[in-house]
Structure formats: C-alpha cells, structure tokens
Structure 1
Amino acid sequence: MLLYKINEEGFLQFGEEIFVSDNATIPDGYTDISLPTDLNGNQLPFYKPKLVENKWIEGETAEERADREAQQLLESLKPSPEELADAELEIKLITILSELGVIQ
C-alpha cells in the first residue's frame, strides 16, 4: 500500500511517499488516501495538494497561483540558447554588411 506523507497543515510532502504491506498500521503523518485521478487514471494536476477532511484539494492560494503563473510567463519569454545564438549570428552579419557598406 502506498502512503503519502503530509505535514501538520495537511499539505503533501512530495517525494516522501512510502510503501507498506496492506495490513500495516499507518504511521502518524501519513495517509493512504490516493490523490485524485481523472477517468483515464491520470493524476489531477494539483500544484500544492492538501488533505482536508479526508479529501485532497488544491492548497495553492490565489496569491501563490498568481506568483507561479507570473514566473512561468517570465520563463516562457526568455530566449532559448539556440535563439540567443541565432541573434548573435544575425548581429554579426549585420555588423559585417554594415562595415562593407552593403547596408546602412
């Protein structure tokens, strides 16, 4: 049986799951309540799972969500290493063409 570790506030402690035999006693700070899944068995995408009254809910606050989404947006706007290399090459080509008088 898979057990999920939760802290005092009920938040899932990622990476601290343990397996025990089906007849084992569940240790304090753990639960055997599985994270919810969709109809295909895929785990629902909670960012901060929290166990409340034996039910998993999204524990991420609106402020935390806004911060996470803003950070994701900033990360998506950063150019990739390939894009940076392409830009550097384009700048070099423009500089050379400008020095040769091909472009102004």
Structure 2
Amino acid sequence: MYAYIVDKNGFIINSYLIGGVVEVPKEAIDVQLPQPLSFVKPKWNGKEWTEGETEEEKTEREEKQLLESLKPSPNEIADAELEIKILTMLTDLEVVQ
C-alpha cells in the first residue's frame, strides 16, 4: 500500500510505501488509487481520487498517440529501404521500367 503527497491542486507529487523504510509524512493521503488504475492523471479532490486530465490534455494525448501509431517501425523502414534498393537495381538493369 502507498500513501501520497499531493500539491494544492490535488495532483500526486510524491508517494511512500506504507511500512517501508522511509517514514510516511502525516499529511500523506493513504486512500489507495483504484485498481486497475482507471485514471490517466489521478487527482485527489479531498474525498476521493478522480480524473484530473482535462479534455484539452486528453485530446492532445490522443493526437500524440495517433501520430505515434502512424509512424513506421524501424523494421518497416528497413524493409522499405531494401525494397527501394531492389527496385533501383532492377530499373538500372532494365528488368523493370
């Protein structure tokens, strides 16, 4: 189990293992995050954990994820480079036009 220190807006800035070597500060929140974690950006509202990610942040995160998913993998790039080399060679040998 963990205890959490949150900033003035309720966002986690530090966590402590309860029963660990380091003493847990008295202001730490020992209400566990829901599992499986359903929040992208957990926020403590004084009573419970809520989603702290704004719609703008969510849109930006999803756009970045989409762009990342559209990038070819290193293997796909290597395959394309090989294909270009083969086509160039076949064109130079006039096997294909």
1:10-38, CA deviations, whole angstroms, 9 ceiling, x for partnerless residues?
Answer: 0123xx311344xx87523x20010012x
* Percent identical: 48
Number of equivalences:
94
> Residues 34 and 101 (structure 1 numbering): CA distance in 2 closer, same or farther, change over 3 Å?
same
1:47-84, CA deviations, whole angstroms, 9 ceiling, x for partnerless residues?
Answer: 11001131101000000000000000011111111111
> Residues 19 and 86 (structure 1 numbering): CA distance in 2 closer, same or farther, change over 3 Å?
same
> Residues 81 and 25 (structure 1 numbering): CA distance in 2 closer, same or farther, change over 3 Å?
closer
Q: Determine the structure 1 residue equivalent to 2:31.
A: 33
Supply the distance in 2 between the matched residues of 1:25 and 1:101 (Cα, whole angstroms): 75
Letter in 2 for 1:79: P
Residue ranges of structure 1 left out of the alignment (5+ in a row): 38-42
Supply the distance in 1 between the matched residues of 2:62 and 2:95 (Cα, whole angstroms): 45
Residue ranges of structure 2 left out of the alignment (5+ in a row): none
After superposing on structure 2, the runs of 4+ consecutive aligned residues of structure 1 that deviate more than 2 Å are: 24-28
Residue 10, structure 1, aligned to residue 16, structure 2: no
